[in-house]
A and B are shown apart, each in its own frame.
Chain A
Amino acid sequence: MPEELNLNELSRVVFLGLSQNEMFTLNKVAEEETRCFFSLRYTSVSHVGSGDQRHGISSCPPRRLCAVNIAVFWLLGISPPTKKNTLSYKLSRLSRSCVYFLLSCLFFHTVVVLYGAPLLESALETFSLAVLLSTLTTLRCLCMLGPNVQAWIRVFSRDGAMSVWDTSLQITTGCSVVGAWLGAFPIPLDWDRPWQVWPISCSLGATGGFLTGLLVAPIWIRWHRKQLTYKLK
C-alpha cells in the first residue's frame, strides 16, 4: 500500500468524499429500512400470523445494504491488491468470504441469544438483526481486508491500524456494535411503542451507530492526524 502512505493527504480527501457519498446512500437505505420495519410491525399487527411475509420484508434492508457496500468498495477498489489474479483464486476468495459472512451471522445470532433474545420465538427476526450487524461490520472487513483472519486480528487489536482505512473500519465497526447495544435500552420501558418491539430498536440502533461512525471517522482522523501519520511510518 505504498501509494496510500505517500498520498496520505489525497487519500484522506478521497475518504471524506467517499464516506459522505456512502453516508448519503446509507441514509436513504436506513430510512427505507425504518419504514420497512414499521410497515412490517403494522402489517404483523393487522394480520396476525403472517410470519413468512414478515421474514421476506425484514431481510430486505440488509440485502440492500450488502449490495451498496459491496458496490461502493468494488468501485473504489480499496481492497488490498492481490498478487494472483486467476479466476480460481478469486472464486476461492469469494467462497471463503461467503463462509465467513455466514459464520459471522451465526456468531452474532448466538451473542444476541446469549444477551437474552428468545431462543425459538421470533428467531427469524433475531437472525435478521444478526445479518444486519454482519453487514455493517463483517462485510466491510471482508471488502477491505479480504478473508484474512490475521489481518482482522491486527486491525482490531490495540494500536493495530496501519492506514486511515483501518482506523475508519475500527470506528464504524465499534460504533455499529455499540449502537446495537444501546438500542436494547428502550426495550424494557413501558411505553408500548411499535419500535420497542424486539429487534427493531436494536436494528435502528445499529444503523444509527453505523451512520454516526461514518460521520465520526473522518472527523476523528482529522483530529488525530499527527498521531496517525506517526503511526503510519
Chain B
Amino acid sequence: MKLSSSVFSALCLIIELLGIALFLRGFFPLPIKSSLSSKSKSSDLPAEPVLGSSPNSTRVPPPLFNRVVIVLIDALREDFVYGPSGKRFMPYTRNLVESGSSHSFTAKARPPTVTMPRIKALTTGSIPGFIDVVMNLNSQALLEDNLLWQAKNAGKRIIFYGDDTWVRLFPKHFLEYDGTTSFFVSDYTEVDNNVTRHLDSTLKRDDWDVLILHYLGLDHIGHISGPHSSLIGPKLHEMDDVIKKIHTSVITTEAEGTLPNLLVLCGDHGMSETGSHGGSSEPEVNTPLVLISPAFPMKEGMGEPGVVEQVDLTPTLALALALPISQNSVGRLIPAVFQKASVREQLRYLHINGHQLSNLLRDSNPSFHKEDGYEQFRMAEKAHGSWMKLYVEGNTSEVLSNMAKKVLKQYLEALQAMSAALSKQLGKYDMYSMMVGMSLILQILVLLLLAMPEALSGAACVDVPLATTFLSLPFYLLVLLGSSVHVLVCTSSEASCYFCSLPWLLAFVAIIFSSALFCSLVAMAARRSLCKVDNKQPKTSSSEWTLSELDILLLIGTLGHTLSLASSSFVEEEHQTWYFLLNTLCLAVFQDVCRKYFREKRRSGEEEEENLLLPSTVEEKGASFSPVAELGVSADSEKWLALATPLLTLTCCRMLRSLNQTGVQWAHLPDLSHWLNSGDHKVFLSLLSVLSLLLIFLLVQRHCSLVSKIALALGLLGVYSYRAAVGSVLFPWQHSAQPMSKGTGEAHFVYVFVLGILFTGVKDLLRSQVMSSVVDGRRLKSRGLWEVYSGMVLLVALLLRAHNLPTLACCLLIQTLMAQFIWKRLHYDAAQTTIMHYWFGQAFFYFQGNSNNIATVDISVGFVGLESYVEAPAVFLTAFSTYAGPLLWACHLVCYLSSERDRAVSLGHSSYCFALLRSIPAVFYVVLVTALRYHLFIWSVFSPKLLYEAMHTLVTTAVCLFFTFMDQDRTRRP
C-alpha cells in the first residue's frame, strides 16, 4: 500500500491517538466501589458485638447534634485561619479556634485539588480518581452513596447556597437552593453576596436541619491575583463576619432541652503560591477544618492543629447525625468529636465505622484477610464483645475502664490501617488495556522509524506492505494467538477490564489490525536489511551524508528531552529544558549565520588559499513571490539583519521567560505578569497591550487582502475594548468607573471578524483550486493560508490574557524575522525547519504560562463571549488557547513551506517530522509511566503530564490533518 508521507503520518497519529486513549482508560483507575449497588441503610448496621446470649441492640446511637451549618470556603488555605493572616483578618474565627469550644484540624485534601472532586470526596468519603478532573467541567448527578442522600433519606431538610456544582451533583436533594456559577473568575463580590443575602432570613427560620454555604470569592481572588493580593484581606474579613453571624445566631443561642448545634468551617482545597490549585504542593492540600459547637470543651490556647484526612469528615458527620456511613467512604471518624459520648457509645461508633471499612475492604481486595487492619478489626471486635459482656453484667471496676481504653486504641489502629489500605487500593491499574494500548503505539513508533528513509526521500512516499501480510501464515498465527490471549485474559481476570468490556467485534478488529501491523513491520525491517546487504551503493552514500552541528544539536535535543521525562523534576520544570534547548538552537543558528556571512566577506577581501565557498551562498533570484516577501533591504543591511535576528530572538526569549514563572520550584518568584496585573500598574499593562496589538497588526497584515486587513484592524481594536470591558486594561476615554461587565458584546464583535477572516481565507484556498494559471493559483493559495493564519492570530489575541499579548507579538516577530533571514537564506531543509518550529512551539507553550500541572490551564478562557457555560465551545476555546503556541508555529510552518516554490515534497516531509517528533516522547512517556506506576509522584507529577501528552498528540494530529489537506491539493495539481 503506497501512501504519501503526509497521509502516512496523519494515519499513524490517528492510530496512536486511539492507542493512547485505550492506555489512558486503563491507566486511570476507577474509584473503589462497594459491591452492593444500593445505598447503605440503617437496617444494615451491624449489631453491637456481645459475647454470650444477652440481647444486643442494632440501633444507631443517638445523634450528637441537632442542626449543622457547613461553611465551605473555596480555596481556604490553612494559613488563612491558623497563620498570621488569620490572626489579622479573621479575628472572630481565630478567637473561637484559640479559646472557644471548638476542635481545629488541618485536613489534607488529596490531589487533584480541584473543586468538584473535593466536593465528591467530602460528601461520599471516597477519593475520586484523577479522571474526575477531566470531568470537572461536566458534572452530572452523583449517583454514589453519599452523606446528603443519607441525610435527605433520614428526613433532614437541607438548604444550600453557593457553587452550583452542588446543585448539579445533588439534584432534588435540597429543600431550598441558590446556585451561583463558578466560572466567571473575574467576579469575586457578586458570587459571595448571592450566598450571604439569604443568610439572615435563613438563620431566623427553624425549618431546616442542615445548611450548606459554599463561598467562591476567595478562590476567584486567588486565580486573579494570588494569595498575597490585597484583595484577600477584605475577603477573609467578610468570611469572618459570616462565621460570626452564624455563630451568634445558631450556635450560642440554643433552646433548652435540644441537642447542641454544630458549625463546620472547612475549605475544599488550598491555594498555591501563584494562587491556582490542582496540584499536590503543601499549600494546595492543607486546608483548615474547624468544628464549633457548645458540646465541645472550651479550649485554652491554640496548640498545633491535628492532622486529619479530608474524607474523615464524612463518617464523623454521618455518625454525629446518626446517619449510616456512605458505603464507599474510606475515612475514619475523628475521635475528638465524640469525646462527650459515653464509653459504650464511643465504642459503638468505632465499631460501625470499622464494620463499614472492613466491608469495603472485603469488596475491593480479594486478599483482604492478609491485611493487617482487617485482622486488627476482628480482634478489636472480639475484645469489644467481651467488654460489652462485662458492661451488661454491671461491672463497674477499674478493669472495665482500662479494658475500654484498650479496645478504643485497638479500634483506632484498625481503622487507620484499613483506611490506609483502601487508599492504597486506588492505585490499581487495568494492565491488560494498558498493555494493548502500549503495544499499539510502540508498533506505530517502530513503523515511523522504519519508514524514515522512504518518508524523507524525494518521492515522499511510504510503501506499507499491509495488503500482502493478509495472505501470510504468520499473520493468521498471530491473530489466533492474540484472540486466544484475549479470551484467556478476559475470562480469568476478576478485576474489571475495559478492553474486555468492549464489544468482541471491535476487540477482534483491533487484534487483527495489530497483528497485520506487526507482520508488515517485520516485512519492512527485512526489506530494509536486505537492501543494505544487496547493494553497497546506499552505504557509501550514507557515509557521505554528514551531520552538521545543527543536525547534531537537533538530534541530541530531541532525544535528550525525551530522556529527561524520566525524572519528575524535569517533568515539573520541563519549560527549563525547552528554554535551554531553544537558546542553544539560537546560538547554533547564529554560528551558522556568522559562518555564512564572514566566509563571504573573507573571500572578497583577502585572498586565502582555501576557498571553501558553501554552495548554498549562491543567491537565487526570483524566488520572491512568497508571502514572506522581500522587505526591500540592500545586501549589506540584510547581512546585519540576519546577524541580528538570532540575537533578537534570544533577547525576546529571555524577556518572555521572565514574563510568566511556571513550573514548581521557582513558580513563587515574582514575575512580570504579577507586576503588571497588580492593579497599580494598569497604565503599563494598557500601554504594553496597545503596543503589542499594533505590532501584531503590522506583522500580520502584510500578506492579507485589503478586506482582511480592515477586518484584522477592527478585530484587534475589538480585542482591546474587550480587555477594557473586563477591566484588565484602561480605556483612554473611560473616566467614570464603570461596573465590570463580562464583555460579551465586544467578544462577539471580535468573533465575527475572526470568522470573517477565516472565511475569506478558506474561500481563497478553494478558489486557488479552480484557478487556471498555476502562478496565480499559487499566489492565491499562499494568501488564503496566510489569512487562515491571521484569523487564528486574532482569535489567540482575544483569548490570551492582556499580559500575555507581548508573547503573541514576540512570537510573530520571531516568525517573521526567522522566515525572512534565517530559514530561507541559510537553506535549511524541511526537516530542520520543522524541528525548529516544533521547538519554538513547545517553548511558547511554556512562555504563555502553561506548565505540566493541571492548575495552570486557564479555564476562564472558555467563557469569553459566552453568557453561560456551553460545553463544546468552552472546551474548544480552552484547548485552543492552551495550545496556542504550538498551533501558531505549526500554522506558520504551513504558510512558510507552501510559499517555497521548489520544495514540492516539503509539506510531506514536515508532517512526517511532526508525527515522529510527537510520537517519540509520547511513546517513551507511556512506557515510562507504566514502569513508574507505583512511583510516589505518579498522581501529582506524572499523571497530569500524561494528560498533557495525550492532549498534545490530539492537537498534533489535527495539525497533521491540516498538513495533509494542504499537501493533497498540491499533488492533485500537475
Contact = CB atoms under 8 A, between A and B. Distances in A.
A188 B657 contact: no
Interface string B585-617: 001000000010011001000000010100000
B498 interface: no
B765 to A, nearest CB: 39
B584 A181 contact: yes
A158 B602 CA distance: 14
Contacts of A188: 569-570, 572-573, 576-577, 663, 665
Interface string A150-170: 000100011100000000000
Contacts of A116: 576, 579-580, 583, 654, 657
Interface stretch (A1-9, A76-84, A107-115, A129-137): A107-115
Nearest to B610: A159
B651 interface: yes
B567 interface: yes
A52 interface: no
Contacts of A113: 654
A101 B576 CA distance: 30
Contact of B569 (A115, A119, A189): A189
A184 interface: yes
B567 A189 contact: yes
A157 B599 contact: yes
A96 B653 CA distance: 33
A187 to B, nearest CB: 8
A129 to B, nearest CB: 15
B612 A111 contact: no
A113 B583 CA distance: 11
Contacts of B602: 153
B580 A184 contact: yes
Interface string B638-666: 00000000000011011001100001010
A184 B581 CA distance: 12
Contacts of B651: 114
Contacts of B598: 153
A157 B614 CA distance: 13
Q: Give the secondary structure class of B's interface.
A: helix
Interface in A151-201: 153, 157-159, 181, 184, 187-190
Nearest to A119: B658
Contact of A114 (B567, B570, B583, B610): B583
B583 A190 contact: no
Nearest to A115: B583
A190 B653 CA distance: 25
Given A114-B583, A119-B658, A190-B569, 19 more contacts: A111-B587, A114-B651, A114-B653, A114-B654, A115-B579, A115-B580, A157-B595, A157-B599, A158-B612, A184-B580, A187-B576, A188-B569, A188-B572, A188-B577, A188-B663, A189-B569, A189-B570, A190-B568, A190-B665
Interface in A38-95: none
Contacts of A159: 610, 612
A224 to B, nearest CB: 16
Contacts of B576: 116, 187-188
Contacts of A189: 567, 569-570
B703 to A, nearest CB: 31
Nearest to A177: B587
B543 to A, nearest CB: 16
13 contacts: A114-B650, A115-B583, A116-B580, A119-B658, A157-B595, A158-B612, A184-B580, A188-B569, A188-B577, A188-B663, A188-B665, A189-B567, A189-B570
B237 to A, nearest CB: 35
A145 B587 CA distance: 24
Report, nearest first, the 6 A-B pairs whose CB atoms are least far apart: A188-B573, A189-B569, A190-B569, A114-B650, A114-B654, A188-B576
B812 to A, nearest CB: 21
Interface residues of B, number: 27
Contacts of A153: 598, 602
Interface of A: 111, 113-116, 119, 153, 157-159, 181, 184, 187-190
Nearest to B663: A188
A128 B629 CA distance: 45
A210 B408 CA distance: 67
A115 B602 CA distance: 31
Contacts of A187: 576
A111 B602 CA distance: 26
B590 to A, nearest CB: 10
Contacts of A157: 595, 599
A184 B612 CA distance: 36
A231 B657 CA distance: 45
Nearest to B564: A185
Contacts of A119: 658
Contacts of A181: 584
A76 B444 CA distance: 60
Nearest to B654: A114
A153 B594 CA distance: 10
Contacts of A111: 587
A15 B954 CA distance: 57
A111 B590 CA distance: 12
Contacts of A115: 579-580, 583
Nearest to B598: A153
Contacts of B599: 157
Nearest to B666: A188
A187 B567 CA distance: 13
Interface in B228-254: none
B604 to A, nearest CB: 15
A189 B580 CA distance: 15
Contacts of B612: 158-159
A20 B596 CA distance: 37
A210 B605 CA distance: 35
A232 to B, nearest CB: 13
A159 B595 CA distance: 12
Nearest to A117: B654
Nearest to B651: A114
Nearest to A181: B584
A113 B568 CA distance: 26
A189 B574 CA distance: 11
Contacts of B579: 115-116
A111 B599 CA distance: 24
A115 B658 CA distance: 12
A135 B583 CA distance: 23
Nearest to A111: B587
B454 to A, nearest CB: 31
Contacts of B663: 188
Interface in B540-593: 567-570, 572-573, 576-577, 579-580, 583-584, 587
A184 B602 CA distance: 36
A190 B572 CA distance: 10
Q: Which of A114, A159, A187 has the most CB of B within 10 A?
A: A114
Contacts of B573: 188
A186 to B, nearest CB: 9
A113 B572 CA distance: 22
A27 B813 CA distance: 47
A190 B940 CA distance: 15
B230 to A, nearest CB: 25
A160 to B, nearest CB: 8
Contacts of B658: 119
A168 B384 CA distance: 83
A163 to B, nearest CB: 15
Contacts of B653: 114
Contacts of A184: 580
Contacts of B577: 188
Contacts of A158: 595, 612
A172 B497 CA distance: 58
Nearest to A191: B569
Nearest to A184: B580
A38 B612 CA distance: 48
